[in-house]
Structure 1
Amino acid sequence: MESIMSSKKIRFNSVLMSAVKQALPIVLGFLPVGFAYGVLARKTGISIDNTILMSLLVFAGSAQFIAVGLLASGASAVSIIITTFIVNLRHLLMSAALSPHLRKWGKLELAAFSFQLTDETFAVHSTRFSNGDNCKSETYLINCIAQLAWVCGTVLGVISSSLITDIRPMGLDYALPAMFIALLIFQIKDRSHIIVGVITGLLSTALALGGAGQWNVIIATLIGASLGVVLSWIKN
């Protein structure tokens, strides 16, 4: 019995360490960005309880920042709900992309997984699942670690909100793109991925400087993805 318990403990520790290692780039991004959200939410006048509850129950960075901005401008509840719903429609695409790897999961397991699915955890899981690694316990641990980092960042922001007048000089807005760069590096497998990534990044920057506004990311992504498909056809 002791040997079985010891084996299970070793197995759990191994899975935990693997989850922590894979979630580390997300944690390094979520802590400062969650901190920024906590400060902004409190500056907007949202109560401490609601600020933290939003990170616990909503757990969607872009939606939370949008909600804070709309609340600050006096928007109605209906406007906030509709806007955040539209912003989060991308989760349909992310879920569809991962669904072939989750066919054997139960409905409750899928519900628990989808609740904590974010852009960042999607990037990690898409790589894991493509490599044949769909361990449920490790998947949930990665998600939980990511949300814990976001909530901790939020709490730190709430605590520090009375001491900080302006978060812009702190450069916290760089944390999110830096995190995505780190996640992108982990997904690079050959030279074509580097080519597509560099061209897409340069194109997005050029479109932004050319006045495309927030559409620069969507347009560059579509062109970059199309280029990736063409390069894949040529290579095969």
Structure 2
Amino acid sequence: MNAELTFKSGLKDVVPTLFGYIGVGLAMGIVANTSHLSVLAVLIMSLVVYAGSAQFIIISMLLAGSPVSAIILSTFLINSRMILMSMSIAQYFKKASLLDNVALGSLLTDETFALSMNKLNQTKQTLAPRWLHGANLLAYAIWAVATVIGDVLGQLITDPNQFGLDFAVVGMFIGLLYLQIITDRSKSLQTQLLVVLFVAILMTILMRFFPGNIALLIATLLGCGFGMVVTPK
């Protein structure tokens, strides 16, 4: 990763994260196939919903016969963290057009958000719409293709976990966290590790009382506050 902020560099920078999209996308497609969803249904869901965890939940709720209102509410809660991410990254696109901001926000994911935070360390805290468009669009396309392929392969694979596909996103985020820590010179290593430890402990506690996505949202907010407190002025 370098300081270049072109569309082409966005395509290049997002490539290491694509393995996560591919792994989870294949798993999602396989699960969708075992749930009797057609290739067309999986493609439309991936293009419209474009959220891995939410798509798994939608499939299970459809099979359970849940009402549409419950599915919509569950999807909103699962992806509510994206509100925080979008607000955080919006400050770097104040001069961009409304259309650019809508497009960037619509295709922003956990991975491209984390990628953007790492990129800021290389560009003196600046981002360009064309760079993030490149990263977002390639990730979007790969996700859709991976889920469709997974649906097709679902006829042959009954348990995606035996291939470790369920660990793909976890492994990818460990890598992104490592890159963030070693490239961010604005904060000391001790401060960053302290925040990571705080959030990890907090998540462990919150998971005992709240659903995973709610716990993640609370831990994120409290983690941000803790980071502000411990960061030297």
TM range (shorter): 0.7 to 0.9
Residue 81 of structure 2 is matched in structure 1 by: 90
1:167 lines up with 2:160 in the alignment:
yes
Partner of 1:149: 142
Tell me the CA shift for residue 58 of structure 1.
1.8
Whole-Å separation in 1 of the counterparts to 2:158 and 2:206: 33
Q: Residue 33 of structure 2 aligns with which residue?
A: 42
1:134 shift after superposition: 1.7
CA distance 1:211–1:115, change in 2 (3 Å)? closer
Q: Distance in 2 between matches of 1:14 and 1:100?
A: 17
Taking a change above 3 Å as real, the CA distance of residues 127 and 212 of structure 1, as seen in their structure-2 partners, is same
Query: 2:134 & 2:117 partners in 1: Cα distance?
Result: 15
Which residue is 2:197 aligned to? 198
Query: Residue 16 of structure 1 contacts residue 138 of structure 1 at CA under 8 Å; is this kept in 2?
Result: yes
- RMSD of the TM alignment (CA)? 2.5
Distance 1:187 1:65, change over 3 A: same
Q: In the alignment, does 2:19 pair up with 1:28?
A: yes
Measured against aligned partners, the alpha-carbon deviations of 1:51-98 in whole angstroms (never above 9, x if no partner) come to 011112221112211111111211122221222123223222222212
How far apart are residue 218 of structure 1 and its match?
4.2
Alpha-carbon distance, 1:199 to partner: 3.9
Number of residues paired by the alignment?
Answer: 221
The answer for the alignment partner of 2:177 in structure 1 is: 184
Give distance in 1, aligned partners of 2:144 and 2:106. Answer: 15
| 4+ runs deviating over 6 angstroms | none
Q: Does 1:136 align with 2:129?
A: yes
Between the aligned partners of 1:21 and 1:120, the Cα distance in structure 2 is 14
| Residue type of the alignment partner of 2:173 | F
Cα distance, 1:142 vs structure 2: 0.5
Q: Match for residue 3 of structure 1?
A: none
Identity %: 33
**Contact in 2 for aligned 1:19/1:138 (Cα 8 Å):** yes
Q: State the partner residue of 1:54.
A: 45
Q: Tell me: CA distance 1:219–1:138, structure 2 relative to 1, closer, same or farther (3 Å).
A: closer
TM-superposed CA distance for 1:140, in Å, is: 0.6
TM-score normalised by L of structure 2 = 0.83
Q: Which residue type is aligned with residue 68 of structure 1?
A: I
SS at match of 2:141: helix
Residue deviations 1:152-183, cap 9 Å, x none? Answer: 21122012010011222222111111111112
Distance 2:114 2:144 in 1: 20
In 2: Cα distance, 1:93 partner to 1:223 partner: 12
Question: Measured at CA, do residues 74 and 153 of structure 1 come closer, stay the same or move farther in structure 2, by a change above 3 Å?
Answer: same
For structure 1, which segment, 222-231 or 104-113, has the greater mean C-alpha deviation from structure 2 after superposition?
222-231
Distance 1:170 1:154, change over 3 A: same
Unmatched tracts of structure 1, length 5 or more:
1-12
What's the offset of the Cα at 1:17? 5.4
Please, which runs of 5 or more residues in structure 2 have no aligned partner?
none
Cα distance change of structure 1 residues 155 and 98 upon mapping to structure 2, 3 Å threshold = same
TM-score (norm 1): 0.82
SS at match of 1:165: coil
Which residue is equivalent to 1:7?
A: none
CA distance in structure 1 between the partners assigned to 2:129 and 2:221 by the alignment: 31
SS of the aligned residue for 2:126 comes to: coil
